[in-house]
Amino acid sequence: MSSVFGKPRAGSGPQSAPLEVNLAILGRRGAGKSALTVKFLTRRFISEYDPNLEDTYSSEETVDHQPVHLRVMDTADPDTPRNCERYLNWAHAFLVVYSMDSRQSFEDSSSYLELLALHAKETQRSSPALLLGNKLDMAQYRQVTKAEGAALAGKFGCLFFEVSACLDFEHVQHVFHEAVREARRELEKHSLARPLFISEERALPHQAPLTARHGLASCTFNTLSTVSLKEMPAVAQAKLVTVKSSRAQSKRKAPTLTLLKGFKIF
Ligand SMILES: Nc1nc2c(ncn2[C@@H]2O[C@H](COP(=O)(O)OP(=O)(O)OP(=O)(O)O)[C@@H](O)[C@H]2O)c(=O)[nH]1
């Protein structure tokens, strides 16, 4: 068992080194990946989000009294998964999201789960996935029953939740924390952490090859602490790290704090 999970967890005092967990959010466009991510980070529901942006956010969390440095990659695959290595090799756990009012997004979530299973088989290294049926507030328009969601999750041996990015924050937070717990269990099992391809202030030595391999044009880093925004609740101590893909870069030239620009915040 890694020392990260030994005594420090029990003490969880100020000296405890935070556990590092990378979480990737996958799913069809419009499933609500960004809305869930933003809800988790800010307690806010944001109704519009640029679908071409792919960002990785960083947040200091406490899960079961243990400090966790959580990085959340809000992926933006085009219609089909592409350049998946950027998250397959990075994440310790996955949230696979579908919108319960879209049969197509449910079918795509199945494809993502298959992709993860295949990757686990090929690498002999499994990462936990949680299946999320989002837009529970739209349940009257559902095209996917809860039983179908549960059955799909059961098929791939993952946890299943129905959630809503625009209902209570606690439920969304619970789901993200469950993902951390799953990742932590897996890390404990293997007693090793996956290599990261970004760090907050400085590039890791292997960043350049990965950048080339995955077509990431550049990485830029921003923190919420540099932004003065009335809407940000005090509880949101999330720092943001923005990693721009080449697609995102082509849409926007200047590095900006994407989360808070041009959104309607309720
Ligand atoms: N009613 C409702 N709408 C939601 C919910 N989550 C997201 N939406 C809406 O669904 C649309 C798509 O949400 P996004 O968060 O952009 O979805 P996404 O999966 O990130 O999609 P891409 O950015 O295109 O990959 C937006 O109009 C959101 O406001 C939810 O829980 N309930």
CA–centroid distance for 55 within its chain: 9
- ipTM score over 0.90, yes or no: yes
Q: Is 202 left (phi over 0), alpha (psi -120 to 50) or beta?
A: beta
Residue 210 has pLDDT above 90, yes or no: no
Determine if ligand 1 sits within 6 Å of the CB of residue 242: no
Decide: 139 in ligand 1 pocket, CB within 6 A: no
Centroid of ligand 1 to alpha carbon of 80 (angstroms): 17
With a 6 Å cutoff on the Cβ, whether 128 touches ligand 1 is no
DSSP class of residue 3? G
Q: What is the pTM of this model?
A: 0.73
Report whether residue 149 contacts ligand 1, using a CB cutoff of 6 Å.
no
The sign of the torsion formed by the CA atoms of 34, 35, 40, 43 equals: positive
Return the best residue to mutate from 25, 28, 29, 34 for the ligand 1 pocket (most ligand atoms within 8 A of CB): 34
Reported as a pLDDT band with limits 50, 70 and 90, residue 146 is very high
CB contact at 8 A, 229 and 198: no
Residue 70: phi and psi, rounded to 5, are -100, 130
* DSSP string computed for 240-261: EE-EE-HHHHHH-SS---GGGS
Protein residue closest via CA to atom 2 of ligand 1: 135
Domain 19-191 has CATH 3.40.50.1400: no
C-alpha 147, offset from chain centre: 25
Query: pLDDT tens digit string along 3-14?
Result: 333 333 433 445
Q: What value does the mean pLDDT take over residues 242-246?
A: 42
Q: Is the CB of 49 under 6 A from ligand 1?
A: yes
